[in-house]
């Protein structure tokens, strides 16, 4: 197992000319929602981007639901970054998978349904050690080991064994994590399934890299954060979060999930696209950290905002206020997914309008950069909440 810790909190992050995001695992399926320009849903992928089966009776494509995606409580996103070359004839391209969902079956089914180029994925970044984000990893690695990539003309290119893959994880993998419900938060009612062990990941064919600090991957186009500073008064971690203490053989309270990392991509002429899979640190803490470390405006926020449980309801209003009023410029898009919750989504839509995107499994987001617009990109400002 390789171990790497970056000393700098702000490694060099290259701006990209194009970012393509595909949501591979999420709690929601949104086949019919209205989406802004640059976004498309799973239906478009099957009926337009792929070659669907055709009904011999009517001559029209069949909605082959048997082979479409399914939802699950977890998160996974495929991040494709592209940087134009000097002669503008070919782009430097990197594929990074951010998290793998909760189980072995969802990631495998959805990878097939979306025809993901598994053999071309160079790195899997695990946001934190919770199995709804790591549970599909070994299944994915097994599937990738036998993968052939589908090209734009629907031919396949066998690439088995030709490209190594790195699993990027925090070094402090817990033995077990559990949940203790409120109001006392003192009795563990269940533990999460075990996260993949480092030796199992390596046996599955991946190289393990552990990073406690911030670092840039994918040719310097994807920033993976280190520890997220907790600076807000209202974001107090995960109530009822528990961790097994091997020394004392007892559960101990762990509201702060300190191994959590976010990812950021800097798109030329736009700003940062932030991936925060669960936001246990609080999405406001995440965004403040990104603005402080990277000194760029936030263009989009993608992932779970962890506002779903009733005891976290008081955090919704200040979170929405930060996203819509305090953060200047406000994000163009917020994709509230996974553990955000219905109440928070409604509040975000009321404040952000169409900037709150109803994304789900199979949603694709293509963001073209604009180098000429860099001079017009605003410096990020965080207004006082008072």
Long-range contacts of 184-190 (CB under 8 A, 24+ apart): 185/239, 185/240, 185/253, 188/242, 188/251
Please count the structural domains in the chain: 1
> What is the structure's pLDDT at 10?
62
Is 228 a domain residue?
A: yes
**Integer Cα distance of 90 and 197 in angstroms:** 38
> What is the structure's pLDDT at 149?
60
Is 207 a domain residue?
A: yes
Is 137 a domain residue?
A: yes
Mean pLDDT score of the chain: 93
> Tens digit of pLDDT for each residue in 295-317?
999 999 999 999 999 999 999 99
Is 192 a domain residue?
A: no
Is 385 a domain residue?
A: no
Is 378 a domain residue?
A: no
Task: Give the CATH number of the domain where residue 163 resides.
Answer: 3.60.15.10
Q: What are phi and psi of 208, to 5 degrees?
A: -95, 130
- Give me the domain span that covers residue 279: 2-185+197-370
> Tens digit of pLDDT for each residue in 39-65?
999 999 999 999 999 999 999 999 999
Is 119 a domain residue?
A: yes
pLDDT confidence band for 90 (50 / 70 / 90): confident
Opening angle at CA 304, ends 367 and 96, nearest 5 = 50
> What is the structure's pLDDT at 165?
97
CA distances from 386 to 288, 326, 352 (A): 17, 10, 20
């Amino acid at each position: 197992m390789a171990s790497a810790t970056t000393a700098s909190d702000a490694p060099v992050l290259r701006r990209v000319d194009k970012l393509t995001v595909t949501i591979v695992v999420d709690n929601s399926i949104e086949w019919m929602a209205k989406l802004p320009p640059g976004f498309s849903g799973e239906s478009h992928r099957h009926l337009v981007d792929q070659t669907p089966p055709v009904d011999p009776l009517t001559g029209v494509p069949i909605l082959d639901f048997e082979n479409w995606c399914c939802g699950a409580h977890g998160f996974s996103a495929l991040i494709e970054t592209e940087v134009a070359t000097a002669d503008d004839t070919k782009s430097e391209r990197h594929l990074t998978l951010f998290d793998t969902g909760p189980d072995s079956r969802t990631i495998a089914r959805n990878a097939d349904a979306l025809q993901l180029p598994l053999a071309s994925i160079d790195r899997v970044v695990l946001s934190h050690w919770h199995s709804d984000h790591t549970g599909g990893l070994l299944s994915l690695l097994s599937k990738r080991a036998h993968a052939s990539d589908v090209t734009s003309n629907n031919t396949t290119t066998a690439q088995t064994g030709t490209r190594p893959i790195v699993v990027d994880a925090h070094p402090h993998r817990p033995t077990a994590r559990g949940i203790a419900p409120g109001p006392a938060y003192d009795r563990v009612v269940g533990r999460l399934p075990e996260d993949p062990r480092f030796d199992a990941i390596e046996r599955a064919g991946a190289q393990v890299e552990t990073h406690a600090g911030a670092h840039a991957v994918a040719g310097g186009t994807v920033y993976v954060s280190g520890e997220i500073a907790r600076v807000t008064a209202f974001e107090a971690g995960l109530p009822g979060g528990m961790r097994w203490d091997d020394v004392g053989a007892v559960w101990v309270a762990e509201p702060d999930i300190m191994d959590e990392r976010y990812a950021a991509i800097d798109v030329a002429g736009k700003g940062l696209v932030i991936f925060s899979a669960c936001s246990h640190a609080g999405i406001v803490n995440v965004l403040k950290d990104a603005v402080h470390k990277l000194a760029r405006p936030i263009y989009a926020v993608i992932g779970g905002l962890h506002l779903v449980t009733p005891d976290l309801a008081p955090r919704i209003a200040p979170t929405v206020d930060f996203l819509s009023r305090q953060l200047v410029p406000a994000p163009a898009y917020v994709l509230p997914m996974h553990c955000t919750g219905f109440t928070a989504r409604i509040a975000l839509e009321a404040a952000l309008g169409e900037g709150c995107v109803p994304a789900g499994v199979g949603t694709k987001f293509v963001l073209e950069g604009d180098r000429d617009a860099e001079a017009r990109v605003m410096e990020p400002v965080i207004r006082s909440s008072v």
